[in-house]
Amino acid sequence: MTGEHVDTFQASVERCLGSPSFIKDFYDRFTGTSAAIREKFRDTDFERQHRAMADSLHVMALAVQGGPDNLGRHAMKRLAERHKEMDISPAMYDVWLDCMLQTARTHDPQFSDAVERAWRETLAPAIETMRAGTPFAT
């Protein structure tokens, strides 16, 4: 993982978060993909969830930088444990990534193939951690 990819990802995230509807649009897209995913969010406080998602995007960028003891990796381990308890199927993470990229594409006016690669490379270790429910993968 190059620092350039993380920087590109973080810049895109900031542009996306600058759009007031980015996270809402993501969750509308994501929960619209299946009844199973909708059910996972049935009792969700979306105002709180929106803040958590914005924070988690930053944490995922932090987690791919630095050594095994960085704060981002510790946060990802806790998040993976929580998601494991919620019985989220591994396939849902692929849907999550597709929906996140589609939403970023519509909210980041500078989105490009290079920006998409940065998103994929930055998010891949976190997604693998969530999917496996194990320590952070790099």
In one-letter notation, the amino acid at residue 97 is L
Angstrom distances, CA of residue 32 to CA of 21, 26, 37, 38, 107: 16, 10, 8, 7, 18
**Which residues in 11-34 are b (16+ Cβ under 10 Å) and which e?**
ebbebbbebeebbebbbebbbeee
Q: What pLDDT sits at residue 73?
A: 64
The pLDDT, as a whole number, for residue 66 is: 66
What tens digit of pLDDT does each residue of 122-134 get?
999 888 877 876 5
Low-confidence stretches of the chain (pLDDT beneath 70) = 1-2, 66-68, 70-76, 79-81, 83-85, 133-138
* pLDDT recorded at residue 76: 67
User: For residue range 61-73, what is the model confidence (pLDDT) as tens digits?
Assistant: 877 776 667 666 6
Q: Say if residues 79 and 56 touch (Cβ distance below 8 Å).
A: yes
Q: Which residues contact 23 (CB under 8 A, 6 or more apart)?
A: 17, 50, 53, 54
Distances (CA, A) of 128 to 72, 109, 111, 133: 15, 28, 24, 8
User: Which residue ranges make up each domain of the chain?
Assistant: 3-132
Superfamily, domain 3-132: Globins (1.10.490.10)
- Record the pTM: 0.84
